[in-house]
Each structure stands twice: as C-alpha cells, then as structure tokens.
Chain A
Amino acid sequence: MECRDFTPQLDDCLDGRLDAAARRSIQEHLERCPDCRRLHQHAVALRAALRTLPAPTPRQGFVDQALSRATGAAAGAVRTPRRGALGMALAASLVLGVAVGVFLVTRAAPVQTVALTLERPETVRLMFNSAKPLQAATLSLALPGNVELVGYGDRRELSWQTDLREGGNLLQLPLVAHGTAKDELVARLSHGGSSKTFRLKIEIKNAGGMGMSPVGIAELAVQPQSGDMS
C-alpha cells in the first residue's frame, strides 16, 4: 500500500468498515510510514474526543416551559414567541441593540464596542427594534479589513434587501477576526429615501487574553423619514 491508497480509506478504517485484508494492509503501511501513522493517530484522537464531547442540559425550567407552551398552543390558549437568539453554530455571542422607527427619545447609549478574540468565531448581534413594519429596507455592511463574516470569505462590503417587522428584528453577524488592529464595522439601514448608519467599534484580543468583555444592550433612536441621519 502507498500513502495515496491509505488516505481514501482512512474514514472506513475509523468506522470499522474494512475487511480483514484491508485492515492488515493498512496496519503494515502505518508501521513503516510515519506521516500516515501521524495522520491516523490524529484522526483516532479526534474521533475519541468527539465521542466524549459533552452537551449542556437544558436550563432549569426550560422543559416545563416548552411543554407548557406546546400544550397551550395545542389548546389555542398561549402565544408562543420564539426566543429568536439565533446564534448560528457559534461559540459565543455579544448583543447590541439599535432602534429604528419613529422613536424620538433616546436612552443612554453605552459605548458600542465589542471585543472579539483572534481567530475565534463570535456572533455579534444587532437588534433592530422597529416601531413599525419597514418593507424592502436595504441593509449594508462594511466590515473592517481584518474581520471576516463567516461564510463570505474576503468580501467586506455586503448588502441585503429585507423586511423589518414591527418590534425586534435580529441581525446576527458571525465574525472571525484575523488581525488585532482596532477598527469599525459600519451597518447602514436605508428605507424610503432615508438612511441611518450605525458604527460599531471592534477591539480584537489575542486568544491568550481574558476573553470577551461583557457587552450590554445599547439602543439608539432614529427617525427614518428624512434624509441621511448618519
């Protein structure tokens, strides 16, 4: 067996799907090839670690709450809102909130800064709390050069057309930082000839640091009826 023959059989080898002759052939190859032996050891160790990967149990009260909602909904008695937090397969999250619509009053707005950890996926969440439905709003993002939106590769300018419902609308941004320079993420929401620009300062820490800083929920107010309010 050559190395090029071993690699395609690695998965079947791990899963015990090879016959005795194939297993013997692989074993002989591994005994004389340190590179393939290292690959095999790595794969076996990873598989063992995955097999023992723990999962959290539901938070206290969740099971009762979920069953209660299901039974209530079946009886037509209970509204069943989604939590809607939507942290898409990412390790951690931060939350910021922004309000759009016809609010005139602003609450005190905490500094809108998030801390990412270098090369670690984090979800930054922007809450667009709209006082009324907005049809076909345009949301544009400008990402810092050293921050990737997971799944979009090198693209740093992105734009979507989307509807905003009355109430909370959550934009989740799975981000990975590839450099430590401070920079800004700019989100621009446009609708009906007006627009609002939100700026988010991003600080990036090395993995060996203290991790993320807690980030509260900030709210901004905007009147989208006239001109550019950025």
Chain B
Amino acid sequence: MRPQVEYLYRLAWRFTGSVADAEDLVQDVLLKLYPRTRQLVDIEQLRPWLARVLYREYVDLVRQRARSPIADLAADAEGEDNPLDTLPAIKDGPEEHAERSGLRERILCALDRLNPEQRAVVTMHDVEGYSLEELETILETPLGTLKSRLHRARRRLRALLSVEPFSAGERVNG
C-alpha cells in the first residue's frame, strides 16, 4: 500500500481542500483496506479502484456532516493525540495562505465554493485527467449526470473567477 498513499492523499486533498480531512480520509481508507491487501494484488486498475474507495469515504464524510454540525473527535484530551494539539488549523493559517498566490489561490478559493459533487467531478476530470467514462465507475455516477455536474461546476468556476479575468501573464500553459 505504501506506494499508493501519496496518490490517495493527493486525491483526498483535492476533494476536501484540507490537510486534516485528507489525512483522515486516507487513514480511514487504509484501515479498511489493510486487512485486504492480498486481494489488492489481483486488481488490474488499482488506482481507479482506490479512488472509488476513497470517494465513498468522502461521500460518507459529507453525509455525516450534513446530519450534524458537530464532528466526532477522539475523547482523549490528555494523550499525545489530543485533537487540540494536532489540529492543522494552525499550520493551515497565514503561512499557507501566503503560499497561495495569484491565479492558484483564486482557483482554490473558487473550488471551495463548489458543492462536494461538483468539486469531485471537476477535480477528477479537469485536474487529475480522468475521462468521464472512467469517472462513471470511480464516482459511481451515470455519464449524463457527470456531464451535467461538470457543466455546472465549470460555469460556476468561470463565474467566480470572472470578476478578475485571466490576464495573459497569469495563464498557465498546458
């Protein structure tokens, strides 16, 4: 599993935009998969398969939060895993903001404004490069629905970014 952890982390971060959430998602996926590591050897397309498992965890997380604004936390306030000590919020603070600049920061802020389903399809398709046909399997969503979500996500991103249009100097070739 070790070679896949960074890949899982990258996807998790793209889904959530949060270091802490990405770590939680990856940890949850590893906990689920570790007892089945021998079965993973037989999976031909391992990364799309892992992406699907991760996306399911992400959907569960979103649903869990929709039910209650209060998140579960470890109750151990004295141990080394005291959540108050490990909250990444401090790390995610001004320094991280300062690192985001220009176009990239505006895009990340705009992605934050998408709903989770839109964010998932636009990051998997436009950022990670998966085809819509591949995403039918990974996101377990029909092609028509994916196209609709992608259309709305892109339109929303363009609207959010249209206040300050792309200038020639900021464009990223690719």
The verdict on A193 contacting chain B, using a C-beta distance below 8 Å, is no
B-facing mask of A120-142, CB < 8 A → 1, else 0?
A: 11010101110000000001000
Given contacts A70-B34, A87-B89, A162 and B126 within 8 Å (CB-CB):
no
Q: How far is the CB of A169 from chain B (nearest CB, A)?
A: 5
Residues of B contacting A123 in the complex (Cβ-Cβ under 8 angstroms):
89
A169 touches B108 (CB 8 A): no
Residues of A contacting B108 in the complex (Cβ-Cβ under 8 angstroms):
53, 91
B87 touches A95 (CB 8 A): yes
The verdict on A171 contacting chain B, using a C-beta distance below 8 Å, is yes
Give A90 to B12 CA distance when docked, in angstroms.
13
**How extensive is the interface on chain A, given as a class?**
35 or more
Give A105 to B16 CA distance when docked, in angstroms.
37
Query: Closest chain A residue to B11 by CB distance?
Result: A55
Pick from A55, A87, A165, A167: contact of B18, CB below 8 A. Answer: A87
Residues of A contacting B75 in the complex (Cβ-Cβ under 8 angstroms):
165-168
Residues of A contacting B15 in the complex (Cβ-Cβ under 8 angstroms):
89
The verdict on B157 contacting chain A, using a C-beta distance below 8 Å, is yes
Query: Closest chain B residue to A217 by CB distance?
Result: B84
B65 touches A167 (CB 8 A): no
A211 touches B98 (CB 8 A): yes
A62 touches B90 (CB 8 A): no
The verdict on B59 contacting chain A, using a C-beta distance below 8 Å, is no
A-facing mask of B102-124, CB < 8 A → 1, else 0?
A: 01110111011110100100110
Give A51 to B154 CA distance when docked, in angstroms.
13
B74 touches A82 (CB 8 A): yes
Pick from A69, A121, A163, A167: contact of B112, CB below 8 A. Answer: A121
B1 touches A85 (CB 8 A): no
Given contacts A85-B18, A121-B112, A162 and B70 within 8 Å (CB-CB):
yes
Pick from B65, B100, B157, B165: contact of A88, CB below 8 A. Answer: B65
B18 touches A169 (CB 8 A): no
Residues of A contacting B174 in the complex (Cβ-Cβ under 8 angstroms):
48-49, 51-52
Give A215 to B166 CA distance when docked, in angstroms.
33
Residues of B contacting A129 in the complex (Cβ-Cβ under 8 angstroms):
77, 84
Residues of A contacting B94 in the complex (Cβ-Cβ under 8 angstroms):
210-214
Q: How far is the CB of A213 from chain B (nearest CB, A)?
A: 8
Residues of B contacting A58 in the complex (Cβ-Cβ under 8 angstroms):
5-6, 9, 23, 26
Give A68 to B100 CA distance when docked, in angstroms.
32
B-facing mask of A198-230, CB < 8 A → 1, else 0?
A: 000000000000111111010000000000000
The verdict on A11 contacting chain B, using a C-beta distance below 8 Å, is yes
Give chain A's interface residues, CB within 8 Å of chain B. Answer: 11, 14-15, 39, 42-43, 45-59, 62-63, 66-67, 69-71, 73-74, 80-95, 97, 120-121, 123, 125, 127-129, 139, 150, 160, 162-173, 210-215, 217
Give chain B's interface residues, CB within 8 Å of chain A. Answer: 1-2, 5-6, 9-10, 13-21, 23-24, 26-28, 30-31, 33-35, 65, 68-77, 81-84, 86-90, 92-94, 96-98, 100, 103-105, 107-109, 111-114, 116, 119, 122-123, 125-127, 129, 132, 147, 150-151, 154, 157-158, 161-162, 165-166, 171-174
Interface pairs (26), CB distance under 8 Å: A11-B150, A46-B107, A46-B154, A48-B172, A49-B166, A51-B126, A58-B6, A63-B9, A67-B2, A71-B34, A74-B31, A82-B74, A83-B20, A83-B88, A84-B20, A86-B65, A87-B20, A89-B15, A89-B17, A89-B119, A91-B17, A93-B18, A160-B68, A168-B82, A169-B71, A217-B84
